[in-house]
Structure formats: structure tokens, C-alpha cells
Structure 1
């Protein structure tokens, strides 16, 4: 499994978390509250989100046989759609070792 995380600065983190969770709940396994969400994708990837007053924190876990950069781009593009007034937001994806991973 490949893991990457990012902190996206926005005062509307909870709103974007809820919008994305509701959007993907029609096709994927989703559990969420206004502060936390977990989304499980059909390929086994998993997105965990936490919202606070200043940022949306994302942790993306992708199976080794999947394209992590593609999944990061999918997540970033979907969030930017809901954040159109602020977009593009900054997604600085990092791996647990601290190295950057290609992202949006």
C-alpha cells in the first residue's frame, strides 16, 4: 500500500468534506460526519478526511498495483470543483517518509 497525505488550507473544510462524501456515497462505501470522512474506492484505495477551522487534512492509501498520482489528481479535482470560489487549492502531497508525490 502507498500512503500520501496533504493539508489543504481552507476555512470551508467541513463543507467540502461533506459535499465530496455525499457525492461519492452514490458509488462508493462512505462514512462521514461534519469533521471526519472515510471513502473506500472500488480498487481498494481509501481516502480519510478530517476538517478543522483552517484546513482539510487528507490521507490517501492506494494499493501497490494502483496509480497513486492518478488517485491524488482525482481527489484534488473533485475538491476543487466544490471549492470553485477558492480554487485552485494547494495540494502538496507527501509520503510518510516526507518526499513529495506527484499531485495536483
Structure 2
């Protein structure tokens, strides 16, 4: 099953992982274990994992190739929104060699 991963630099990986699991848990089966610093996301189209380590939050999603971009988008978009103040950037790397999505806070153009 195709897989995509992202390493998101942050001083608060546990906080963001917990917030992401809690928010997504309203619609899917999502679990965050504070003690181990790991979590899982069970989507209908695939699954995801969250791993907090010093200085970074590791994200991974896996599913059918046709669903990979959607999984990247859901996880990445929400995390960047939660971490807007910290200017989090989520850059997905797919194991298929195809480029993954990139999520970053887009400041509104005052034009």
C-alpha cells in the first residue's frame, strides 16, 4: 500500500498531535497516547500515524494510490491551520517517488 511521510519541525509535537487526533476524532477513529507520544488515525480510505519526537512531529499516511493525496491533504491542512502561529510546514514525501503535497500557512494578499 502506498505511503507518504512528513517530518514537521516544531517545539510542541505532542500538543499538535493531540490536537490533530482530537479534532479528526470527531469524524474518524483517532487515538493519541500522551505517554508513548504516538497516535493513529483510521480513515475509511486508509490510515495515519502520528509520532512526537524532540523537535518534530512525524506524520505518515497510507492508502490506495488514488486516495493518498486526499489523506495528505486532510492531515496536512488541519495541522497547518492549528499551527498557523508557529508557521508549521508539512511537506509530504511519497514512497512511490511521486511528489507529495506541501502545506503551509498562506497569508492573505491585502490587494
Range class of TM-score, shorter chain: 0.7 to 0.9
Match among 22, 26, 38 for residue 36 of structure 1: 38
Secondary structure of residue in 1 paired with 2:41? strand
Equivalent residue for 1:53? 54
Q: Compute the TM-score of the two structures, normalised by the length of structure 1.
A: 0.84
Q: Which has the higher strand share?
A: 2
Q: 1:41 to 1:11 in 2, by over 3 A?
A: same
Find runs of 4+ consecutive structure 1 residues off by over 6 angstroms: none
TM-score normalized with structure 2 length: 0.79
CA-based RMSD of the aligned residues comes to 1.7
- Offset at residue 97 of structure 1 (A): 5.6
Query: Which has the higher Rg, Structure 1 or Structure 2?
Result: 2
Asked if structure 1 preserves the Cα contact closer than 8 Å seen for 2:6 and 2:58, the reply is: yes
**Unmatched segments (≥5 aa) in structure 2:** 104-111
User: Is this contact kept in 2: 1:92–1:100, CA < 8 A?
Assistant: no
